[in-house]
Amino acid sequence: MAPPLYFLPGVRLEEFVQDGRPAAALLKRYGLDGVLADIELTSALSMQDTTGAGPSGSSGVLFCTNTAGQPPHRFGYLPEFQRWQKVCNQPELWIGVDKEHPAGPNDLRRVRLLDGHPVTLADGNEYLVPYVRSLEGRTALPRDMYHDADGKFVQEIQPAYQGIWEVTARLWDMVYGQDEAARLMDYEEALGYCLDVLGLNYRYGKHEQAVLRLVDTTSDTWERIFEAVVDVPFTQQVLAEQKKTEPPAAPATPSTPPGSGD
């Protein structure tokens, strides 16, 4: 397995690195600021200036994250071993994957994983999808806790996660709502929510989806993600445990009289 490779045509390494960190403004320009938000130091990356013909036919910066602190087995522009795709025109951005060592969960995972449920995505690998809302009152989102001025104990979703908390209200209505209109959603909208949630634990967004395509139109991907977000597996487990402890029901009265001894 190897992490995805990113190629920024026309960018030099000296522009990409500022004070030992990836340049925040540059990452934002390419739509990579959220995906690489947990990369604080460029020591967590493998990177190089690629001169001559990169995947775009021009020079630029090539980089990737290091899996578990280790650089990939192969690093550089090696088209015979890689599959490259342009994922954005303005500004031009390319992502490549090693054809023999495609990216997996360990290559995409963030430094910190939120608790969740395993979901098998389109590449056949299991990814940990955080539960954000639950019938049981649980959430894997980090919360602040304190006592207010009246001495009341308070728990609040941390500001950095407030956006995903609000976004997942739509998924709650989708799974548990009684309004049929609220349960309708097109694939483009569904994909957006899946990427928002997967991005909590993995460096994965719309650019990476264009290449890796972990979410497809089968319910085994997007629907399982939705269920994990609203904690359906845990709720099902609770109901199953409750059923085990319930006393057995009285035998039902036969609807027809017994037959003859024959």
In angstroms, rounded to a whole number, what is the distance separating the alpha carbons of residues 249 and 262? 30
* pTM to 2 decimal places: 0.88
Whether 95 and 116 share a structural domain: no
Whether 136 and 209 share a structural domain: yes
Domain end point (choices 33, 68, 103)? 103
Whether 72 and 49 share a structural domain: yes
Does residue 258 form part of some domain?
no
Res. 33: pLDDT tops 80: yes
Residues 6+ apart with CB under 8 A from 257: none
Which H, E and C letters describe the chain, residue by residue?
A: CCCCEEEEECCCHHHHEECCEECHHHHHHCCCCCCCCCCCCHHHEEEEEECCCCCCCCCEEEEEECECCECCCCCCCCCCCEEEEEEECCCCEEEEEECCCCCCHHHHECCCCCCEEEEECCCCCEEEEECCCCCCCCCCCCEEEEECCCCCEEEEECHHHHHHHHHCHHHHHHHHCCCCHHHCCCHHHHHHHHHHHHHHHECCCHHHHHHHCCCCCCCCCHHHHHHHHCCHHHHHHHHHHHHHHCCCCCCCCCCCCCCCCC
Whether 128 and 235 share a structural domain: yes
Whether 121 and 235 share a structural domain: yes
Q: Are 125 and 225 in contact (CB under 8 A)?
A: no
Whether 149 and 220 share a structural domain: yes
What's the confidence (pLDDT) of residue 259?
A: 38
Does residue 180 form part of some domain?
yes
Whether 98 and 138 share a structural domain: no
**Structural domains counted in the chain:** 2
Whether 77 and 125 share a structural domain: no
In angstroms, rounded to a whole number, what is the distance separating the alpha carbons of residues 228 and 245? 25
What's the confidence (pLDDT) of residue 247?
A: 67
From residue 208, how far is each of 198, 203, 212, 237 by CA, in Å? 11, 8, 6, 33
Res. 257: pLDDT tops 60: no
Res. 129: pLDDT tops 80: yes
Domain that holds residue 92: 5-103
Indicate the burial class of 133 (C-beta count within 10 angstroms; 0-12, 13-18, 19 or more).
buried
Whether 80 and 190 share a structural domain: no
Does residue 55 form part of some domain?
yes
Res. 253: pLDDT tops 80: no
Amino acid at 113: L
Whether 88 and 119 share a structural domain: no
Q: Are 210 and 87 in contact (CB under 8 A)?
A: yes
Domain end point (choices 78, 103, 128)? 103
Q: Residue 58's CB: how many other CB atoms inside 10 A?
A: 14
Residue-averaged pLDDT of the chain: 90
Whether 92 and 116 share a structural domain: no
Does residue 254 form part of some domain?
no
Q: What is the mean pLDDT of residues 31-59?
A: 91
What's the confidence (pLDDT) of residue 219?
A: 87
Dump pLDDT digits (tens) for 189-226. 999 999 999 999 999 999 999 999 999 999 899 999 99
Whether 93 and 128 share a structural domain: no
Res. 261: pLDDT tops 50: no
Q: What is the mean pLDDT of residues 175-188?
A: 86
Domain end point (choices 103, 129, 152)? 103
Does residue 256 form part of some domain?
no
Does residue 259 form part of some domain?
no
Does residue 29 form part of some domain?
yes
What's the confidence (pLDDT) of residue 260?
A: 37
Dump pLDDT digits (tens) for 94-105. 999 999 999 999
What's the confidence (pLDDT) of residue 108?
A: 97
Q: In sequence order, what are the beta bridge partners of 95?
A: 6, 85
Does residue 251 form part of some domain?
no
Residue 71 token pair: 């650089």
Dump pLDDT digits (tens) for 54-76. 899 999 999 999 998 888 888 99
Tokens 């264009």 correspond to what residue?
210
